[in-house]
Structure formats: structure tokens, C-alpha cells
Structure 1
């Protein structure tokens, strides 16, 4: 699982996923976090702890004050989501 999520991150860095997602679907992580909270029962703290980003960043993304994430937070959340979805879905 860890290797698969590392490959996902490497592909994201190499394919400029951050830049494409930023322009084409800026609300991607907000929608994914809302799904995790609503369907899988995660809290804001669980998402922040699991991805290694600050709780403030998660809250700002969820409540629309910061629809755009910086690249480090984007890749950290992408790694968290890939680990979770590869393991559970």
C-alpha cells in the first residue's frame, strides 16, 4: 500500500497534477473531504492527522476560505486519500 501511494505521489509530481487540478477543479479536495466526513465518518482532525497538514488548512479548505491549496498540502492530502481509498475501496 505504501509503495502504491508513493507511486501516486510521484506521478502527481511528474504529471503536473497539482497545476491541472488547481485550474480545472479547484474544489476537488473540499468535495473529497466532505465525502470522507459524511460517508466514512472522519472528522476534520482525522483528516489533518492522517495527511499531516494543519487543522487550520483543512478547515479553511472545507469552509471555503482557502479553496486553493499550496502544493505541499495538495500532495499530502492526495497521499492520504490514495492510501485510504486503496485500502478500503
Structure 2
């Protein structure tokens, strides 16, 4: 696999991994937070908003945030795994 291609796959893997980590942390904080106006919950809501917005458009208005968060987490986890599998397939095909 060529060097720019491996760099692109590394970047995609890293971005998907970070999305999964932040979404998972948001789920944990939302579950454990006792105050709905918690600053930590606000932080994760702001950080993960660009990740959940495209997923939120697929659901009906009024869908629970926890369900949207779970769907976004599963989506980005699937994308992360697919990128890893494609990268490994390209590496084995080039050898």
C-alpha cells in the first residue's frame, strides 16, 4: 500500500476511534450524571453534537437522546471496524 493511502487510512481510523471514545464517554457521563445541567454533561454534548447531528436526522422528532447517542456510537464503531478491515485487505493484497 502506498504511503499517502496508509496515511489516509490511519487518519480515518484515528478519527473514528476518537468519535467512538467521545460518544462512549458521553453515554457514561449521561448515565452517571445526577444533575441535568452538569458542566461535564454540557461539555460532552457540545463535543459530540457534530457526530450525533447526522444520525439525529434519521430518527423521528422527539426521539430520546440516549437512543440517538447509542445509534451514533454503533454507527461510528461500525465505520471504524470497516476501515480497519479494508486497510488490512489492501495491505494483504499488496504483499
TM-score by length of 1: 0.33
TM-score by length of 2: 0.32
Compare CA radii of gyration and give the structure with the larger one: 2
Q: Which has the higher helix share?
A: 2
